[in-house]
Amino acid sequence: MKIGLVQINIGLKWARMLPYSVGLLQAYAERHAAERHEWLLPVYRRMPVAEAVEQLRGADVAGFSAYVWNERLSLAIARALKEARPQTLVVFGGPQVPDRSEAWLRAHPYVDVAVHGEGEAVFTALLDGRDRADVPGISWLREDGSYEQHPKGHRIADMTEIPSPYLEGTFAPLQAANPNERWIMIWETNRGCPFSCTFCDWGSATQSKVFRFDEERIYDEVEWMGRNEIGFVFCCDANFGMLRRDYEITQAVVAAKERYGFPFSFSVQNAKNATERAYRIQKLINQSLNAYGVTLSLQSSNEQTLANIRRENISSESYRELQRRFARDGVYTYTDIILGLPGESYGGFADSIGQAIGDGQHNHVQFHNCSLLPNAEMAHPDYVARFGIRTVPQLIRNPHDQVDFANEVEEYLDTVIATDAMPAEDWVRAKVYWWLADLLYFDRLLQLPLALLEAKYGVTIREGIERLAASRAPEIAATMRMLTGHARAIQRGGPEYVSEPGWGGMIWPADQHALISLVLGGRLEAFYEQAADELAALCPGDDTALREAVELNHALLRVPGPAADVPLVLSHNLLEFHRGLLAGEPVPLEERLSAYLVDRSSRPFPDEQEWLEHLVWCHGKDKRGYLNETRPTGARAKVALA
C-alpha cells in the first residue's frame, strides 16, 4: 500500500521540527508490519490544504497526528483528501483525539478510525488489515452508523520494540528533499509521567509508568544529532532529570557539541520536584548548550488549588535555595504560573505571584492562561461542572507574529475565562494584575521602587501594584483602561496579543504594548512622576528613598533617544540593594551618600525599530535586558557630582 503521514508542527523562523510522532509510526511499521509499503514524504509544516492533498495523492492510508496547533488544519486536509479519494483510510491519533470520541467522530465523518493512546502497534495492526474487532485502543462508526470503541491496550513496556526513526533513516528522504531546511529534533529518552496534574493530558495517571529507551540507542541518537548538524534539540520527556542517568545523557549532548558544533541548543522539561540532579543538569545546559533558562514550575501557591489540580510543589525553602544557587551561577530562571485554575481566587492568584517574588524570582514569571485539553481530567464534564469552569475558543498566535498574519485554517484553544472561585470580573482583575506585574516588576519599569516599598516601608508589592491599578492619575489610568479593555475582549473570544499599526508590524503582549505606548507616545516622564506620587503616598514617614528609587529606575530603563550617560547622587545605596536582590544575595539598605553613573552611551538605540527588536529579544530571552548598565562612581566623582 501507499502510506501518507501528516504531523504539522509549530515552525520557527529559522527551523522546522522533524515529524517525530509519525516517524515513529513509520519506523515501527517498517520493522513489524507483515507487508512492506511505500511511504510518501510526510506533511510536516503548515501549507495550503490543496497542496497537502496533492502531496498525499494516491495514499491508501493517511495517518494524522493531531494536537492543539494543528487539529483544524489536519481535519481540513483529511476532509479534502476523502473527497478527492473516498477509498483512502483516514486514521487520526495524538493528544487532540478525545478519549470520549463518539461526538467527535460524528462531527468529522471523513475520519475512519480514531486511535487512543500509543499509536505505533495500533497503526501497524491497521496496515496489516487486522479485523478492527481485534485491535485495542481504537474507535469508529460502523456502516450502520453505530459507534464502537475498544479500551486502550497495554502500553509498550519493552522500548526496544520501537525503532528510532533517526537511526533507521526514516527522515533521510525528507531531509534530502528539503536540503535548505534547518531541522529541530524532537527527542525521547523515556516515555510516561508519574504525576497526574489535571490540566495536563499526560495526567490522570494514564501514563504513570515511566519506560526507558536503552542507553545504546540514546547515545547513538546523540551522535546522530551531532553528525546531522541539528541545531536545536527539544527533549519531550515529561520530567527530564528525574532519572539518575539524565546527567550523563546531558554530558553526552555537550560532548557532541564539542565534537561537531551541534546541537547548539538543548531544551528540556524539568523534573517537577526539582532535585540536586536537576540543578546540576540545568547548570550544565545553561553553561554549554545555550538554554533559554531554567523553569521553576509553581502554577499556584494556593494549597487548595494545588489539591484541586492534583499537584505538589517543592517547598518554599527549596525554591529559594534553587533561586539563590542559579542566581549565583549566572543562570537565568523563570517561574510558571497559570491564571484560572479551579478554586483559585483573584487574591490567591496575586498571592502566588507575591510568593514567587518573595522566594527570589525577580527575572520573569511565565504566565499562562488555563486551557482545557480534551483528554485532561480538567476537561471532563463533571470536573467542569464541579468548579464552574467557563471557556471561550481563543485564536492561537505567537507573540510578535505579524499583525496581518493569517492561516488558511486557524487553530483555537479552549481558554478558561471564569470559574466559581474567580467570576468573570475577578478574572479581568487577575488578568490585568498579571500584565501589571509583568510591566511594573518583571519588565523593570518600577521594579526597584516596588521592591524598596517592601524592604524599607513594609508595604507589599501587591499593595503597590494595586495602588497603581486604582490610580486616577491620567497616564496610569490610561494604561489601566487599555489593559482592562483588552482583558474583556479576550473574554469575548478575542486574541491574547494586542495589534497596533506600525510598531514593527507585530502583535505584542499587553505589558509590552503598554510600555511601548508610554515610550513612543511621549508619556513615560509623566507616568514616572505620577507613579512616584502614588507609591510615595503608601510610605509612612520620609519618602525620599522611594522617590529616589523611582528616579534611578527611570534612568535605568533602556529606551530610544539621547545617548548621554546619567549621573545620579542619592541618599541610599539603592544600586547595591537592587543588585543584591537580583543576585539572591541581599544587601541591606543603608542611608549613605551614593553616586552612580547610568551608562546610556555604550549600547544606545539610535532608532525606534532597533529598540522594538530589542523588546522582542527581552520577552523571549532575558528580561534583564530592559535595564542599562550602571556603576557606582569613586569618591572624587561623588564630591564633584554633589
Q: Supply the DSSP symbol for 61.
A: E
pLDDT at 642: 45
Q: What is the pTM of this model?
A: 0.93
Residue 268 has pLDDT above 70, yes or no: yes
For the stretch 3-41, pLDDT in tens is 999 999 987 778 899 999 999 999 999 999 999 999 999
510/238: higher pLDDT: 510
Residue 354 has pLDDT above 90, yes or no: yes
Give the SS3 label for residue 151.
Answer: coil
For the stretch 358-368, pLDDT in tens is 999 999 999 99
Distance CA 469, CA 90 (A): 53
* For the chain, the helix, strand and coil percentages under 3-state DSSP, each to the nearest 5: 45, 15, 40
Distance CA 177, CA 494 (A): 39
Residue 568 Cα to chain centre, angstroms? 39
Q: How confident is the model at residue 634 (pLDDT cuts 50, 70, 90)?
A: low
571/207: higher pLDDT: 571
Residue 332 has pLDDT above 50, yes or no: yes
Give first-to-last CA distance, the chain, whole Å. 85
pLDDT at 272: 67
For the stretch 230-265, pLDDT in tens is 999 999 998 898 899 999 999 999 999 999 999 999
Residue 275 has pLDDT above 80, yes or no: no
* DSSP-derived secondary structure for 328-380: HTT--EEEEEEET-TT--HHHHHHHHHHHHHTT--S-EEEEE-B--TTSGGGS
Distance CA 24, CA 42 (A): 12
Residue 638 has pLDDT above 70, yes or no: no
For the stretch 604-619, pLDDT in tens is 898 899 999 999 999 9
Residue 601 Cα to chain centre, angstroms? 34
What is the CA angle 391-619-294, rounded to 5?
90
Mean pLDDT of 435-441: 98
Distance CA 330, CA 457 (A): 30
Mean pLDDT of 196-219: 81
Task: Give me the percent of the chain exceeding a pLDDT of 70.
Answer: 97
pLDDT at 298: 87
For CA atoms 210, 211, 213, 215, the dihedral sign is positive
Mean pLDDT of 582-608: 90
pLDDT at 279: 87
What is the overall mean pLDDT for the chain?
Answer: 93
For the stretch 367-416, pLDDT in tens is 999 999 999 999 999 999 999 999 999 999 999 999 999 999 999 999 99
pLDDT at 274: 56
What is the CA angle 119-120-121, rounded to 5?
100
Residue 484 has pLDDT above 50, yes or no: yes
Least confident interval from 118-127, 159-168, 602-611: 602-611
Residue 639 has pLDDT above 60, yes or no: no
Q: How confident is the model at residue 311 (pLDDT cuts 50, 70, 90)?
A: confident
Residue 636 has pLDDT above 50, yes or no: no
Helix (H), strand (E), coil (C) string for 109-124: CCCCEEECCCCHHHHH
pLDDT at 4: 98
Contact indicator for 292, 331 with CB cutoff of 8 Å: no
Mean pLDDT of 302-316: 86
Least confident interval from 192-206, 465-479, 497-511: 192-206
Q: How confident is the model at residue 92 (pLDDT cuts 50, 70, 90)?
A: very high
Residue 572 has pLDDT above 90, yes or no: yes
Distance CA 237, CA 271 (A): 9
Domains and their CATH numbers in the chain: 2-159 (3.40.50.280), 182-192+208-291 (3.30.750)
* DSSP-derived secondary structure for 178-201: -TT--EEEEE-SEE--S---TTST
Residue 206 has pLDDT above 70, yes or no: no
Residue 178 has pLDDT above 90, yes or no: yes
Q: Which of 460, 387, 374, 382 has the alpha carbon at shortest distance from 421? A: 387
